[in-house]
Amino acid sequence: MFQVRTDLAIESRELYKEGRDVEISGVEVDVKEEKDYKITRVKVLNKEGEEKLGKKIGSYITIESAALKQADQDLKDEISQVLAKELKALINTDKHTKSLVVGLGNWNVTPDALGPKVVEKVFVTRHFFKAYNKTEDDTMADVSAISPGVMGITGLETGEIIKGIVEKSKPDVVIAIDALASRKMERVSSTIQISDTGINPGAGVGNNRKSLNKEYLGVPVYAIGVPTVVDAATMVNDTIDLIITDMKNHTEKGGEFYGLLEGLEDQEKYQMISQMLNPYMGNLMVTPKEVDTIIDDISLIIANGLNISLHHGIDLKDVNRYIN
């Protein structure tokens, strides 16, 4: 059966609700709409909600802003502050919290370079705390960061690298950043998802590795993800849906052809997609042509949000002073 690929909890909820006029049992949803952005908080409460949504028990916070793809500095600053506020509420850090920021992905492949790009802009301070034998500071917290690369570069499982670092450096929390996949092109690079359930490196491109979560690493793992790609088969499926809807609007209701269009099942559409794509393109992922600029902008927004939320004495004015 055709399965739409998405890493976003908000889209999993939308997929479940298609054709149903009921909310998912075991899942709480809160939506807050502002002028420039929308925040959707999805909370999976129990096993029933976990099974229906296909997401682990926990919180999933989605910040959406269509203008992010061509954001000016004011919008970047605003979203950075919104992200910082959500992170502070979710992680509940203080000046004693030791954090490890992990930038997942391949720095040689632009759509997958979000994590490493964020790490480049994070204020790392652990070495100062070690050098001066400090346990706290009036402005900065103990923050370290790493971009472990991917197995094709290192030959090592990403989870193994992170586990070794966690065992040695003993952070209180791990925050992992990775590129995700969406089912809708309009959400690519305009959506930021935060969760407290960990992350599967490589999930965005269907290349799952060992999960980074509390069970495996021994400390709470928070994830920040941005969809940078869409599965080509998903795009074709949505395009076929639009074509069918348009054809139905121009076909006499109740006629034979209308009945044929009405009765076209998902499985039939999937077979059509397979016949069109597999011989030529296989498992193709699609990304915007301006992805280089988008990754630079989004990575700066996330890094600023992290710096403000993790370092208790830093605000937006401070991060803009040192990061360009």
Number of H helices, E strands in the chain: 13, 9
Query: Model's pTM, two decimal places?
Result: 0.84
**What is the per-residue pLDDT for 322?**
64
pLDDT digit string (tens) for 69-81?
888 889 999 999 9
**How, if at all, do strands 98-103 and 173-182 pair?**
parallel
**Inter-residue contact 57 to 215 (CB < 8 Å):** no
Please answer whether residues 26 and 44 qualify as being in contact, where contact means their C-beta atoms are separated by less than 8 angstroms.
yes
In three-state secondary structure terms, 254 is coil
Beta bridge partners, 28, equal 43
For residue range 252-271, list pLDDT tens digits in order: 776 666 566 566 665 566 56
What confidence score (pLDDT) does residue 323 get?
Answer: 61
**Can you point out the beta strands (E) in 165-321?**
173-182, 191-195, 221-231, 285-286
178-192 pLDDT per residue, tens: 999 888 878 888 999
Which pLDDT score is estimated for 204? 47
Report how far residue 178's alpha carbon sits from residue 298's, in angstroms, rounded to the nearest whole number: 12
Q: What domains can you pick out in the chain, each with its CATH number?
A: 9-226+291-322 (3.40.50.1450)
Give me 277's structure tokens.
């794509």
Binned at pLDDT 50, 70 and 90, residue 103 comes out as: very high
Alpha-carbon gap, residue 86 to 305, rounded angstroms? 9
Backbone φ/ψ region at 141: left (φ over 0), alpha (ψ -120 to 50), beta: beta
Long-range contact set of residues 183-187: C-beta below 8 Å, sequence gap at least 24: 183/4, 183/5, 183/6, 183/8, 183/11, 183/15, 183/230, 183/231, 183/234, 183/238, 184/11, 184/230, 184/238, 185/230, 185/235, 185/286, 186/66, 187/8, 187/11, 187/64, 187/227
CA–CA dist 174, 162 (Å, integer): 9
Rounded CA-CA distance 183/2 in Å is: 13
Is 52 in a helix, a strand, or coil?
helix
Confidence of residue 1 (pLDDT cuts 50, 70, 90): very low
For β-strands 98-103 and 142-146, DSSP reports them as: parallel
Please check the confidence at residue 116 and state whether its pLDDT lies above 80. Answer: yes
